[in-house]
Amino acid sequence: MSLVENNEQLCPEAQEEIIERNLRQRVREKWAKIITFVSIIAIALGGLNDTMDALEKVYTLSLSQFTDIPSHNKLDRIYIRASEDVLEETFGAPVYMKKSMSGDFIRYYQDKRFVLSAVTRDGAISAFLVFPEEGFLPNTNEHSGGEFLLEQAFSAHEMVNDIRLNSSRSVSYYIEENSEGDFSNLYNSVAGYSEFLGPLDDNTKRLFDALSESMMLGDDVTKPAVALRDAITPNFYGYSILGLDVLESAILTLSEYRLITEQ
């Protein structure tokens, strides 16, 4: 029996496993050659210490360029009531700052895979929001929405304590808060949708306008809120010990995103 005939008799799962194993082997061989080449160059230029430095730089560069690990590691360092110093230790200086209506300073920090906004009080982080770039999925296991928070419609998560919405030509966003999650005794979970990556499409804009009108007129918002939550998926999330009134000012807008990312 030929190799081709043998492979054809394998189940799809087995074939996929073989392909994946071969791919991993090719990647390992490729990186082995790269590391060997760098080692030879480093040894020629300055000995073992330089070799180790070069290998460390190659490793760091490969993690940064080909994986999301550094971005995940940064987010792992940020949590509610941590010292505000952790923000600059992790991200460097803020790329953008503003003041909320309540007088809180809001600082924005940029990673290649997300933008983070943070509100601090008394030297500690009181709230932060994470705005991922397309294709980046942060770890949301501790959030009330769970692992698939950013992959499911809002309606997949029924518990909601409070909502806020703004629908205008300049700024449109929806944000909700609830008191569930792994650390619900310490802070609330927040999720929302903002047009920071691009303007709302026509259907989403109609849903935003319908809920906005009901909220302004004091009507029952149940029906328009359910319709909106059924139709859209969160594109940012966060945690907070503050109310949504403060967090509304920390939501990244389209113009702010463009300003931050185009510098």
Would you call 100 helix, strand, or coil by DSSP?
coil
**Considering the entire predicted model, what is its pTM?**
0.76
Whether residue 46 is found in the same domain as residue 76: no
What are φ and ψ of residue 250, in 5° steps?
-95, 0
Whether residue 33 is found in the same domain as residue 159: no
Whether residue 30 is found in the same domain as residue 155: no
Residues with Cβ within 8 Å of residue 174, at least 6 apart in sequence: 163, 164, 165, 192, 193, 194, 208, 211, 228, 232
One-character DSSP codes across 110-169: EETTEEEEEEEETTEEEEEEEEEPTT-----TTSTT-TTGGGS-GGG----SEEEEEE-S
Whether residue 132 is found in the same domain as residue 17: no
Helical segments of the chain, H only: 3-9, 12-46, 48-66, 69-76, 85-91, 202-217, 222-231, 244-247, 254-261
CA proximity to 122, closest of 82, 88, 90, 89: 82
Per-residue pLDDT reduced to its tens digit, 175-230: 999 988 788 889 999 999 999 999 999 999 999 999 999 999 999 999 999 999 99
Q: Tell me, what's the pLDDT at 28?
A: 58
Whether residue 53 is found in the same domain as residue 78: no
Whether residue 91 is found in the same domain as residue 58: no
User: CA angle 22-27-29, nearest 5°?
Assistant: 95
Of 45, 67, 89, at which residue does a domain stop?
A: 67
Number of folded domains that form the chain: 2
Per-residue pLDDT band at 129 (split at 50, 70, 90): very high
**Domain limits for position 244:** 70-261
Whether residue 210 is found in the same domain as residue 188: yes
Whether residue 84 is found in the same domain as residue 63: no
Residues with Cβ within 8 Å of residue 175, at least 6 apart in sequence: 163, 164, 165, 190, 191, 192, 193, 244, 247, 248, 251
Of 52, 67, 82, at which residue does a domain stop?
A: 67
Whether residue 74 is found in the same domain as residue 55: no
Per-residue pLDDT reduced to its tens digit, 35-86: 666 666 666 666 556 555 655 555 555 445 556 889 999 999 999 999 999 9
Whether residue 42 is found in the same domain as residue 169: no
